Structure 1
Amino acid sequence: MIPESIIQYLESQGIPFERKSHLRAITAQALASSLHVSGFQVAKSVILQSDDALLICVVSAPDTVNLDRVASVTGTRNLRLADEAEFAPRFPGCEVGAEPPFGGLYGLPVVVDEHLRDESLVLFRAGSHTEALELRYDDFMNLEAPYLGNIIHDRPHKSREDESAEVAPSPY
């Protein structure tokens, strides 16, 4: 179940969203499979630790974060993956591994991979392994005003024809 604080945050900012219930899915790729969508449409939060702060990196499900590229985009030094014990207390009410990308709610900077802009609608974990949120990419970017750049390890060219599932746009 999505924590009420997340729903209130989005509603208070006038951000339209759709809740998507799904089978329990621990990984972002499993979430994509459960909802029958491309992994490129599912955004996962990767929590990094710098010398003095946590930050949320948002990348597509099949992608991996390139720490050097994140450092270049943000000007941050000494980045590493954060341990669960370091970040879990910052996300009250959220299941570990289902951290939402809403840095504005949690007082954390957000870095978004530029490849996500290829998706008009994006699915996000929102504190739950059984429910996700679908938002317009542009609404998310306007809400969070994140750093934006190429922060992933290079991937092969993605073709729409190669994707196994497409999703019709939501009516909201």
Structure 2
Amino acid sequence: MGIALTMQEYLEDNHVAYDVARHGKTGSSAMTAHASHVPGGALAKGVVLRWNGSYLLAVVPASSHVNLDNVRKLVGENVELATEEEASMLFPDCETGAVPIFGAPYRIACLVDDKLERHGDIYFEGGDHRTLVHVSGDGFERLMYGIPHGSISN
């Protein structure tokens, strides 16, 4: 499959240079980091949350888990993990379980963990479980411009 068309267009529309690499199929972002020899803290993953009758995309390092209490402090009380089926409906051009890290092109609210700002390079799954996308730290900042940030993982 490669990189999802929506993600590719978002990268190109924002004039962010990126590289794409293939790896063996993995079942989680932590496994992707290991298979790709990328530090887990530099691999961003998207986690879909249910929020006030809608959805929120939490973007955290692969080596971390979303801290729902911290998210609630930032956005309100009604936050819980969405199901994999719900996430799949939101990202029709991605494989099940391969949640993108961009909310804007899919019209989903987004929140980014502060820990991702500490890396010079950021990696993320490209819409399937075999494609890894790499952008510079500056490119990641450009893609996440205006997106609320906070300490949302542990």
Q: Deviations over 1:25-53 (max 9, x none)?
A: 12111111111121111111111001221
Q: CA RMSD in A?
A: 1.3
Contact residue 112 and residue 148 of structure 2 kept, 8 A:
yes
Q: Is 1:88 equivalent to 2:88 in the alignment?
A: yes
Partners in 1 of 2:87 and 2:140 — Cα distance? 22
Normalised by the length of structure 1, the TM-score is 0.83
In the TM superposition, what are the counterparts of 1:24-39 in structure 2 within 5 Å?
24-39=25-40
Q: Which residue of structure 1 aligns with residue 44 of structure 2? A: 43
Cα distance between partner residues in 1 of 2:50 and 2:137: 25
Structure 2 counterpart SS, 1:31: helix
Question: Which consecutive unaligned segments of at least 5 residues does structure 1 have?
Answer: 154-172
Distance 2:53 2:105 in 1: 19
Q: Tell me how far apart the structure 1 counterparts of residues 27 and 3 of structure 2 sit (CA, whole Å).
A: 15
TM-score by length of 2: 0.92
**Residue 6 of structure 2 is aligned to residue 23 of structure 1:** no
- Deviation of 1:8 (Å): 1.7
CA contact (8 A) 2:14 2:142 kept: no
Q: Distance in 1 between matches of 2:35 and 2:59?
A: 20
Q: Where does residue 134 of structure 2 map in the other structure?
A: 134
Q: Is the 2:43–2:123 Cα contact (8 Å) retained in structure 1?
A: yes
- 1:57 matched to 2:63: no
- SS of equivalent residue, structure 1 residue 105: helix
> 1 CA distance for matches of 2:84 and 2:139?
28
- Paired residue for 2:114? 114
1:133-172 CA-partner distances (Å, limit 9, x unpaired):
111233223223221111112xxxxxxxxxxxxxxxxxxx
1:53 alignment partner AA:
S
Could you tell me the percent identity over the aligned residues?
32
Once the two structures are TM-superposed, the CA of residue 4 in structure 1 deviates from its matched residue by 2.1
Q: Give deviations 1:115-137, integer Å, cap 9, x for gaps.
A: 11111111111211000111123
Q: 1:146 corresponds to which residue?
A: 147
After superposing the two structures, state which structure 1 stretch, 4-13 or 101-110, moved more.
Answer: 4-13
- Whether the aligned pair in 1 keeps the contact of 2:48 and 2:82 (CA below 8 Å) is yes
Q: Say which SS state the counterpart of residue 138 (structure 1) adopts.
A: helix
Moved more, 139-148 or 100-109: 139-148
- Between the aligned partners of 1:58 and 1:115, the Cα distance in structure 2 is 10
Separation in 1 of the partners of 2:138 and 2:109? 18
> In the aligned structure 1, how far is the partner of 2:76 from the partner of 2:20?
34
Q: Residue 76 of structure 1: CA displacement?
A: 2.9
